[in-house]
Amino acid sequence: MTRLNILWALLLGLGLWQALVILTGAPHFILPSPWRVAQAAWNSRVVIAENAWVTTLEVLLGLVLGTLLGAATAIHLAMSKTAERLMLPILVFTQAVPVFALAPVLTLWFGYGIGSKIVMAVLIIYFPVTSAFHDGLTRVDRGALDLAKSMGATKANIMRHIQIPHALPALGTGLKLAAVYAPIGAVIGEWVGASKGLGYLMLLANGRAKIDLMFASLITLACLTVVLHWAVGLLAKRLNTYALGVAPQTPAARAGRA
């Protein structure tokens, strides 16, 4: 059902695109037809794949590092009232600085390689992950905390056995946001200065008036983001299922319930 819907949406999109090309009569170096883009994608498949690999690596590393850093910060903030008081305003303030504006500086500091793009992706997802996870950690039922205290629990153990498992769904929400943002960070980093990656390829193709290749790169990037979003969505679902203690719905369980 959903697969059929996706197929229809895809066909509709392609149809609209083709219609736009015919109706406007735009030349192929302004708006190439879907077929032309498909041809360009096929002809340049090796180049696209190589650059897509670099971008994927940047995004994945950025996502992992940013999540680790964000989760660690959130735990630290939730455990220390002082840290929370001092750091939360700073964190919010840093969000007022558009991360994109930092791209040139980051390129200067971390070079033209994938380093600066990873840092860019980390910076852009750090805040959503931190704030979502911190929210989850601090929104634990007061009764559960009272119970833990009456049992003589230590702060660290409350964090480990109650707060973190409880906050996993919130972390999942943060990760879903991060999955959307991380590719943006990486591509902007590539635009500012790079010798590899889909963002770099887009600029290069644009400069050489190979608009069909540019579109092919853009579509590849969109596909990567969709796959990433889907994978992270699955992960978030699993975190949710775990934290709520709901057994995965197997056909046998469904039959048993009915």
Partner 1 sequence: MADGAERRMSAAPGITLSGQHSIGGAPLFAAEMMLPGGQWTCLLGPSGIGKSTVLRLILGLETGGDFVGQIAASDGQSLANRISYMAQSDLLMPWLSVTENTVIGARLRGDVPDLKRAEALLDRVGLGPHAQKKPSALSGGMRQRAALARTLMEDRPIVLLDEPFSALDAGTRADMQELAAEVLAGKTVLLVTHDPAEAARLGHQIIVMSAGEATAWPTPASSPIREINAPETLTCQAELLAHLRQVQA
Query: Which residues here bind partner 1, judged by CB under 8 A?
Result: 141, 143-144, 146-154, 157-158, 161-162, 165-166, 242-247
CB of 64 to partner 1, least distance (A): 24
Smaller CB distance to partner 1: residue 172 or 185?
Answer: 172
| DSSP 3-state of 163 | helix
Cβ(59)–Cβ(231) below 8 Å:
no
Cβ(107)–Cβ(44) below 8 Å:
no
Cβ(144)–Cβ(162) below 8 Å:
yes
CB of 160 to partner 1, least distance (A): 9
Smaller CB distance to partner 1: residue 229 or 237?
Answer: 237
CB of 239 to partner 1, least distance (A): 10
User: Which of 48, 52, 186 lies closest to 107, judged by CA?
Assistant: 186
CB of 74 to partner 1, least distance (A): 19
Helices (H), the chain: 2-24, 34-43, 45-79, 81-96, 99-110, 114-138, 142-150, 155-158, 164-192, 198-207, 211-244, 251-257
Smaller CB distance to partner 1: residue 169 or 199?
Answer: 169
Smaller CB distance to partner 1: residue 165 or 233?
Answer: 165
Give the span between the Cα atoms of 117 and 121, in whole angstroms.
Answer: 6
CB of 75 to partner 1, least distance (A): 17
User: Which residue has 């003589």 as its token pair?
Assistant: 152
Smaller CB distance to partner 1: residue 139 or 161?
Answer: 161
